[in-house]
C-alpha cells in the first residue's frame, strides 16, 4: 500500500532557529496536508496544498507540494517554544495516508 517516509523522526530546536522537515513517497498524491499535534489533543491542520509546485505560507510556516507529487516539505522560521509538538504530513490520494510524525523538542 501507499507509505510516507517522514524525516527527521525527531529534532531539537533552539529558540530562533529555522526548522525543516519533509515527507517522501514512491506514490503520487493529489493533495498534501501538514498537521501539528500537541499532547492529549488531536491533530490541527496547519497548511493544505492542492497543486504540484504550490508554495503556501501560514505565518512562520511554509510548505511546498513537490513537483513530482511524491514529496512535500514544511519549514518553520524563527522557532519559538510553543512550536514543540508532533508534526504530521499526510498525502491525499484514494485515502489520506499519514507519515509517522516528526517530534519537535526544545534544547535545554
Partner 1 sequence: ETGVTQTPRHLVMGMTNKKSLKCEQHLGHNAMYWYKQSAKKPLELMFVYSLEERVENNSVPSRFSPECPNSSHLFLHLHTLQPEDSALYLCASSPRGNGGLGGTDTQYFGPGTRLTVL
59 exposed, middle or buried (CB, 10 Å; 0-12, 13-18, 19+)? exposed
Q: Enumerate residues 6+ apart whose C-beta is below 8 A from 67.
A: 52, 53
Closest approach of Cβ 106 to partner 1, in Å? 21
User: Is 11 a binder of partner 1 (CB under 8 A)?
Assistant: no
User: Is 19 a binder of partner 1 (CB under 8 A)?
Assistant: no
Q: Which three cell numbers stand for residue 88?
A: 504530521
**Which of 14, 41, 107, 108 touches partner 1 (CB under 8 A)?**
41
The residues that touch partner 1, with contacts defined as CB under 8 A, are 4, 30-31, 33, 35, 40-45, 48, 88, 90, 92-101
Amino acid at each position: 500500500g501507499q507509505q510516507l517516509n517522514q524525516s527527521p523522526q525527531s529534532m531539537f530546536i533552539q529558540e530562533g532557529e529555522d526548522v525543516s522537515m519533509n515527507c517522501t513517497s514512491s506514490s503520487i498524491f493529489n493533495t498534501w496536508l501538514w498537521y501539528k499535534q500537541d499532547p492529549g489533543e488531536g491533530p490541527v491542520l496547519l497548511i493544505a496544498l492542492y497543486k504540484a509546485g504550490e508554495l503556501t505560507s501560514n505565518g512562520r510556516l511554509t510548505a511546498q507540494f513537490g513537483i513530482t507529487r511524491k514529496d512535500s516539505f514544511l519549514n518553520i522560521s524563527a522557532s519559538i517554544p510553543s512550536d514543540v509538538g508532533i508534526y504530521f504530513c499526510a498525502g491525499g490520494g484514494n485515502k489520506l495516508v499519514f507519515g509517522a510524525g516528526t517530534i519537535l523538542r526544545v534544547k535545554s
